Structure 1
């Protein structure tokens, strides 16, 4: 499906996985189908995903944290270039500001702006 460390466009990721091309956690048929992460907002990616408090990010984070299947995770490297980092599945999820705080450092968001932190595990 995807080659390790190879760059893909959002259009290609969308064609293969489906979901919203603009969402960092695109969803299809009620499931998160990929993660397209920026390191300025997710400095520990692909091991940790930080969801802001917007309604869409909150809903996608809640959905992903309940899934058990691995999803392809991509890290943005340039304008419309996302490097495939591997298949990851949710391992742990944190929602309280105190439990999220250790992961929020250097992400450009305050603890109050974070709705969920999801620790991912490589599959």
Structure 2
């Protein structure tokens, strides 16, 4: 489907997986189908994902933190250039507490702007 290290457009990702072409966590039928991440918002991606808050973002972030199936992860290199990092699964997630805060400190994001910290690991 995708080749490790190759770049894809959001349109190409969408044509293979479905979901939104703009959301960082596109969903299809209530399931997260990919993670399209920017180092600007998640500087430790793909291993650490800082999920935002908001009317749309918050519920999807919560869904992502509970998902157990592997998903393809892409990192934005430039406009319309998303590099495939591999298949990842959620290893842990935090939505409060000292561990939650420790992942946000130094990221350039405020604690108030993050609803979940999701730790990913490569799928086997």
**Is contact 1:43-1:106 (8 Å) kept?**
no
Aligned in 2, Cα 1:88/1:61: closer, same or farther, shift over 3 Å? same
- Aligned equivalents of 2:51 and 2:79: distance in 1? 21
Pairwise CA RMSD of aligned residues? 1.1
For the pair 1:42 / 2:42, whether they are aligned, the reply is: yes
Give per-residue Cα distances to partners, 1:18-62, cap 9 Å, x unaligned.
111110000100000000000011111000111111122211111
> 1:97 deviation in Å?
5.1
State the partner residue of 1:107. Answer: 107
Per-residue CA deviations over 1:75-96 (Å, capped at 9, x if unaligned) read 0001110000000011101001
Equivalent residue number for residue 92 of structure 1: 92
Count residues with an aligned counterpart: 123
Where structure 1 has 5 or more consecutive residues not aligned to the other structure, the ranges are none
1:98–1:112 CA distance, 2 compared to 1 (3 A): farther
User: Structure 1 residue 112: deviation in Å?
Assistant: 1.2
1:31 lines up with 2:38 in the alignment: no
CA distance in 2, matches of 1:38, 1:106: 16
For 1:108 and 1:97, the matched residues in 2 are separated by 18
- Give unmatched runs, 5+ long, in structure 2: none
The 5 Å alignment of 1:54-69 reads 54-69=54-69
* 1:41 match: secondary structure: coil
Q: Distance in 1 between matches of 2:81 and 2:5?
A: 11
TM (norm. structure 1) is: 0.95
| Distance in structure 2 (CA, Å) of the matches to 1:25 and 1:111 | 20
